[in-house]
Amino acid sequence: MIQAKGYAAKNAKAPLAPFTFERREPKENDVAIDIKFCGICHSDIHQVREEWGRSAFPMVPGHEIAGTVSSVGAKVTKFKVGDRVGVGCMVDSCRHCEPCEQHLEQYCKEGMTGTYNSLERGTKIPTQGGYSDKIVVDKNFVLKIPANLPLDGAAPLLCAGITLYSPLKHWKAGPGKKVAIIGLGGLGHMGVKLAHALGADVTVLSHSSKKHDDAKRLGADHYFATSETETFKTLNSTFDLIINTVSAPLDWNQYLSLLKLDGSMVVLGIPDKPIPVGAFSLIGGRRSLSGSLIGGIKETQEMLDFCGKHGVTCDIEVIPAQKINEAYERVIKSDVRYRFVIDISTL
Ligand code: NAP
Ligand code: ZN
């Protein structure tokens, strides 16, 4: 076994604290990785605090992992020692169901194996995430990080980046399309950068006016504060696509009214309560309400290569591991510009 150290939550009420544990001995198809940076996703906080139902503890969160390869198994040819690599939200899937065969492992019929708060297939050993110095991952779930992207700014692409790229591509964001992003946080700011790079006309819908200048700098064409009632009148029937990254309660019917004929609103944020939607909000304007979960491995590599080509990375604040609990509080208060990334050398 490989000795690893990290930060873990011992239970849903406890702050994260230093923790030592074991990683599996690498098998023939495995890649062993020295983790350099790991982003803090709001999903880490939801799971540590059991906001989505029961979690498994102790939990080492983290699914925005960037590092370098320290060793590879006998059957690994795609990666070599020293390669710059990433790991996102999943580390395995059944690999034979219809979604898996279509490179959509995140929708695996048996359920994808999460990078943490999940059980390894076969052994049923709990998986542990990237707030740690080492990880061992099957080669099919390891991504290559383009040479021109810094590892710290690239780490959050592994969740925030792909979670926005996938729906933007699926719903064909591009020239001539009006796209709105609700919530300028970790996911939202990547939505702005990626939709802009794809050539769409991008609007940010933020709950205050505070992030106006940032939104413009990130590539937004328009910015509206949703605290202003005028916003919903001005933007009535405007957008082809609205991507909602917020997990706080919203007036969904009000946001649906901003879609033009045949427009789609895509749910990314995960509130702890069911979504209240009136039928008229959908049938008037033949509107759709859909959801999207991260992205498959093939598309994640495509997104990383796209970011390499366009020089897109995340806006980050790098923190030492000792500040994780403080960072959680700041994420909850929307006081992050725009992703915390843990410098793993500080563990
Ligand atoms: P985040 O950085 O905390 O961003 C959320 C944003 O929501 C905030 O920056 C803020 O933007 C807005 N917001 C916060 N409180 C609000 C309130 N009371 N009213 C209205 N807006 C509010 O979180 P994140 O890491 O981007 O994650 C967002 C959500 O997506 C989480 O629920 C996470 O679990 C989920 N997620 C889903 C997937 C997926 O595959 N679908 C993947 C990763 C994460 P403004 O200040 O601009 O309003
Ligand atoms: Zn995430």
What length is written for the chain? 347
Report the residue among 268, 336, 338, 340 best suited for mutation to probe ligand 1: largest number of ligand atoms under 8 A from its CB. 268
Of all protein residues, whose CA lies closest to atom 15 belonging to ligand 1?
Answer: 248
pLDDT tens digit string along 241-253?
A: 999 999 999 999 9
The three-class DSSP label of residue 293 is coil
Report the residue among 194, 226, 247, 250 best suited for mutation to probe ligand 1: largest number of ligand atoms under 8 A from its CB. 247
Of all protein residues, whose CA lies closest to atom 19 belonging to ligand 1?
Answer: 248
Q: Which residues contact 71 (CB under 8 A, 6 or more apart)?
A: 26, 31, 32, 81
Helices and strands counted in the chain (H then E): 11, 17
pLDDT tens digit string along 59-73?
A: 999 999 999 999 999
CA R_g for the chain: 20
Confidence of residue 13 (pLDDT cuts 50, 70, 90): confident
**Ligand 1 site, residue 206, Cβ cutoff 6 A:** yes
Please answer whether residues 208 and 147 qualify as being in contact, where contact means their C-beta atoms are separated by less than 8 angstroms: no
pLDDT tens digit string along 30-81?
A: 999 999 999 999 999 999 999 988 999 999 999 999 999 999 999 999 999 9
**Which pLDDT score is estimated for 55?**
95
pTM, full prediction: 0.97
pLDDT tens digit string along 273-306?
A: 899 999 999 999 999 999 999 999 999 999 999 9
The three-class DSSP label of residue 330 is helix
